[in-house]
Structure 1
Amino acid sequence: MNSEEQIFKLILHSGNGRSFAMEAIGLAKTNNFEGAYEKIRLSGEELVQAHHIQTQLIQNEIRGDKVEMSLLMVHAQDHLMNALSIKDLSEEFVDMYQKVEESINRTQVL
């Protein structure tokens, strides 16, 4: 696989990871926490794949097969870093929504 194909796959998996993380937040808003945590898990799987591609690109560069620093490469790295941040934040949001729901449920029981 050439470096351009790797870059496109990096964008693909990063975008999928971000989308799953955003879906997790949406599910948490509707109190579907099981679904939300599943989406976070799927997000993590996509981001692991993206990270492996990034690692391959770095290792190739270390071996002397430099990747041209193009706008496309910058775009791919931007996608990955944003997706990682969104996933981390989605975990916090889902946890927060769950705690709020549990608190509401406890209050209603009293």
Structure 2
Amino acid sequence: MYIEEIIFKIIVHAGNARAKVYEALKHAQESDFEKAKECIDEAGKEVGIAHKTQTELIQREADGEKVEMSVLFVHAQDHLMTAIAEKGLIENMIDLYKRIDQLERRESL
């Protein structure tokens, strides 16, 4: 697999993860926490694929293959880092939505 294909694989899966965590947030805002969890789980799988791909690229370099730094590679790294950070942040936001939902249910009794 060419380096560019590997880089695009990271970008695609990190992008998929970001889309899924924002979908999860939308479901949490609608109090559909089961669907939110499904989306978070899917995002986790996408991050896993992107991270594994990144690790393979790093391993190739560690094995002596020259991996040229490019704007595209930096973009892929940025995409993955952002996806991981947003996933963690949105998971915490979903927990807050759950607490709000529980409090609203108590008050309506």
Q: For the superposition of Structure 1 and Structure 2, which TM-score range results when normalised by the shorter chain? A: over 0.9
2:35 pairs with 1:35: yes
Residues in 2 aligned to 1:40 and 1:94: alpha-carbon distance in whole angstroms: 10
- Counterpart of 2:108 in 1: which secondary structure? helix
Aligned equivalents of 1:80, 1:64: Cα separation in 2: 24
- Rounded Cα–Cα distance in structure 2 between residues aligned with 1:22 and 1:86: 9
Matched, 1:60 2:66: no
Quote the offset at 1:55 in angstroms: 0.4
Instruction: Report deviation, 1:8.
Output: 0.3
Structure 1 residue 44 and structure 2 residue 44: aligned?
Answer: yes
Matches within 5 A, 1:11-30: 11-30=11-30
Q: Deviations over 1:31-81 (max 9, x none)?
A: 111000110000000000000001000100001112110000000000000
Q: Distance in 2 between matches of 1:36 and 1:90?
A: 10
Pairwise CA RMSD: 0.6
Q: Mark the runs of 5 or more structure 2 residues left unpaired by the alignment.
A: none
Instruction: Report the AA paired with residue 40 of structure 1.
Output: I
Aligned residues: 109
Partner of 1:77 in structure 2? 77
- What TM-score, normalized by structure 1, do the two folds share? 0.97
Q: Percent identity?
A: 47
List, as ranges, runs of 4+ consecutive aligned residues in structure 1 with deviation greater than 2 Å. none
Unaligned runs of 5+ in 1: none
TM-score (norm 2): 0.98
